Structure 1
Amino acid sequence: MKTLVVDSTGQLQVKEIPVPKYNSKQALVKMISCGICGTDSTLIKFGFKGFPKEKYPLMLGHEGVGRVVEVGSEVTSFKVGDVVLLPFNDPDEELYGSLGSAWGAFSEYGVVNDKAAYPEGEVPEVAYAQQIVPEDIDPVDAAMLVTLREVFSNIKYFGVGENDNIVVFGSGPVAVTFIKLMSLMGIKSIIGIARSEAKKNLLLENGATIALNSKECDVTQEIRKLYPDGVKYVLDAVGSTDIMNHAMELIADRGEILCYGVPRNNQMQLDWSKAPYNWKINFQQMPSKLEEAEAYDQILEWIRAGKLNLKDFISDYFKFENIVEAFEKYNNHQIPKKAIITY
């Protein structure tokens, strides 16, 4: 099969490798689509925690959807023909030598685990979120379900409530998803911060009660007019030291800075001279797969009720043979929403 690999110099190339092996508790999946995520870009720039340069080269991709083509002898939850979320490819020294894996879903094949086949206490965590895509969901666009489930589970984890106020920095797919889902949850005060009028309008279209263009106004001044004592939450959906430091002067006493974006480096220089005396930072960079799985039914319910449309979050589709070009456009900020790779 073909797979996308990043090497120790940050160069991308499509390589030919063997189709993965699978055991009696797993199923082999032929990929249908996979979304490009900021995590992939961070890995290309050597900034993702847990992946030092000595682990490279790496197979990339973690927002995959595929169709089951073979099943292990103990598998009962999946059958041939099922469309499933989150097929991955693990490192395999025998098959792949020193080629490592950052989940490896930008491949023509992947593997899913059947959690029902494992004894209690031995279920791989990812198995909880390797779920079937219902037949009424477009299998290509279903890659967007990964982001939707992750974000919804994280809103619940962060504990943002209906009557709370929150400022969201960012206007990419993750920030837009946070705003849209918080709006559907009935959170009444969502202030979006973008860096252009077009992005500001995008945040308003997706449920922000107020949106500000940081290039056209003093964000701190505008928010303090609305909330003189500060806001309860500031969400960094980008992963930026500048945003984290800016958040310090926006939060109320005992307010909380939520970081869901993945920082480009594993350290930050924070200045809390403008923060209140009491405040918290909450990093969430690796969502719980069990919580992600538990978010699935609500996402599907909103889609079926017409409150979510997967295509609203997607701007570009690329064939797998054009994946390097897709990443060039993504890294040059030429893709306004989610980009999906198709097979």
Structure 2
Amino acid sequence: MKGLIVDEQGCVRLVNDIPFPEPGDYEALVKVECCMICNGTDMEIIQKKLEETTRYPLVLGHEGVGVVVKTGKKVRNIKVGDRVLRVSLPDSEKYYSGWGSFAEYAIVKDGKAMIEDHVDVQEGYGALSQQVVDKDITPEQASLMITLKETCSALRRIQLKETDQILIVGDGPVGLSFLNNLNYMGIKNVDLIGNRKMSLEVAHNLGVRDTFWNKDEEDKARMLTKKYDVYIDTVGNKSTITQGTRVLCEDGILAIYGLRTGDELSVPIKGIRNITIKMLQWPIPIEEEKTHNYIQEGIRCGKLKTKELITHRFSLDNYESGFLAIQNKKALKVNILFS
């Protein structure tokens, strides 16, 4: 079957020789409808910088959505015709799995049934975020739900207060999804700093209080005069983390979501006595699962805005244009359509 793979040289290619998956007893076969390009993780995989994916060639993608066409004999919480998100492929004899949503067909597991039956319980917990989507949620909205659920569950782990003063660092899809969720939660004291004028305009459409353009020294200096209770770093490199220590209130929270910290975290501690550092660099499936209905309702009632974040759509055959749009900073979220 067709799909996108990353080869040993880090090149993305469309191939037509991916082995067709056969669902096991606790699995369902899914016909993929669409998959978003993840500006963070997918690019890390292509650049061979993600430690969870070290074997190539691999099938790319983890923001895929599709319709169930077949179920294993012990599946009881998923049925044929259900739309499901976070579809994936296992390793095959030809390709490893970079989660593998960029393929014509993929697999989801019935994690709840696995846990109830005490079969591969740990794997069952890992599959809890592979969930059925309500009929009124479109495939595109369902795909975006993955980022919205990840960021929502991260915000819940921070345990915010409505009165918190918050700064989001980064104006990519993740930073804007944090902002989208905070506005939905009713937390209004949220500022954002970023590099792209286009994204800062989107931030205003999503309800930001104030924005700072990182490329304007006066704007950045204005940001550094403020104090925040929570600093959400979606970039996660040494300079952005250090910046956080300068603008946090006493007993503030430095929440690091970005993946660019490498193997070591360096935080200057001179003059710092009372801050909390929270590492939020990977979703916890059971926590992500808990946000599912909440995120669906936010989309349904229009409080979670999806149109502002999805800026480009391409067919699978035209995938190169999608990756180019991200590399050239022309796009926020790019949706690759299979049908």
Query: Given the two structures, how large is their TM-score scaled by the length of structure 1?
Result: 0.90
Deviations 1:248-288 (A, max 9, x none): 21112222211112217333544344x52232322212111
Query: Shift in Å at residue 49 of structure 1?
Result: 2.6
- Percent identity of paired positions between Structure 1 and Structure 2: 32
Structure 2 gaps, min length 5:
none
Aligned with 2:255 (options 251, 255, 258): 258
Deviations 1:48-88 (A, max 9, x none): 13333xx2222110001011111111112222211111111
Task: Name the residue aligned to 1:234.
Answer: 231
What is the DSSP-based 3-state SS (H/G/I as helix, E as strand, rest coil) of the residue aligned with 1:128? Answer: coil
Task: Name the residue aligned to 1:313.
Answer: 309
Deviations 1:285-318 (A, max 9, x none): 2111111111011111112222123222200111
2: CA distance between counterparts of 1:166 and 1:235? 7
Task: Name the residue aligned to 2:144.
Answer: 144
What is the DSSP-based 3-state SS (H/G/I as helix, E as strand, rest coil) of the residue aligned with 1:49? Answer: coil
Aligned with 2:293 (options 294, 297, 300): 297
Query: Shift in Å at residue 201 of structure 1?
Result: 2.5
Task: Name the residue aligned to 2:202.
Answer: 202
Query: Given the two structures, how large is their TM-score scaled by the length of structure 2?
Result: 0.91
2: CA distance between counterparts of 1:219 and 1:279? 25
Query: Shift in Å at residue 199 of structure 1?
Result: 2.8
2: CA distance between counterparts of 1:269 and 1:74? 48
Task: Name the residue aligned to 1:122.
Answer: 120
Task: Name the residue aligned to 2:336.
Answer: 341
Query: Shift in Å at residue 218 of structure 1?
Result: 4.0
Deviations 1:32-51 (A, max 9, x none): 01111110001111111333
What amino acid is aligned across from residue 333 of structure 2 in structure 1?
K
Go from structure 1 to structure 2 and tell me whether the alpha carbon gap of 1:196 and 1:331 turns closer, same or farther (over 3 Å shift): closer
Aligned with 2:45 (options 43, 46, 65): 43
Query: Shift in Å at residue 220 of structure 1?
Result: 6.0
Go from structure 1 to structure 2 and tell me whether the alpha carbon gap of 1:338 and 1:113 turns closer, same or farther (over 3 Å shift): same
Task: Name the residue aligned to 1:14.
Answer: 14
- Whether contact under 8 Å (2:31, 2:67) holds in the other structure is yes
Query: Shift in Å at residue 117 of structure 1?
Result: 2.8
Deviations 1:67-111 (A, max 9, x none): 111111111222221111111101134xx3xx2211111111100
Task: Name the residue aligned to 1:92.
Answer: 92
- Whether contact under 8 Å (2:214, 2:220) holds in the other structure is no
What is the DSSP-based 3-state SS (H/G/I as helix, E as strand, rest coil) of the residue aligned with 2:308? Answer: helix
2: CA distance between counterparts of 1:301 and 1:172? 24
What amino acid is aligned across from residue 43 of structure 1 in structure 2?
I
- Whether contact under 8 Å (2:202, 2:308) holds in the other structure is no
Deviations 1:112-163 (A, max 9, x none): 1113432147342332111111111112332101111111111001112211
What is the DSSP-based 3-state SS (H/G/I as helix, E as strand, rest coil) of the residue aligned with 1:148? Answer: helix
RMSD: 1.9
Go from structure 1 to structure 2 and tell me whether the alpha carbon gap of 1:309 and 1:206 turns closer, same or farther (over 3 Å shift): closer
What is the DSSP-based 3-state SS (H/G/I as helix, E as strand, rest coil) of the residue aligned with 1:140? Answer: helix
What is the DSSP-based 3-state SS (H/G/I as helix, E as strand, rest coil) of the residue aligned with 2:335? Answer: strand
Aligned with 1:248 (options 245, 249, 253): 245
What amino acid is aligned across from residue 70 of structure 1 in structure 2?
K
What amino acid is aligned across from residue 339 of structure 1 in structure 2?
V
State the aligned residue count: 332
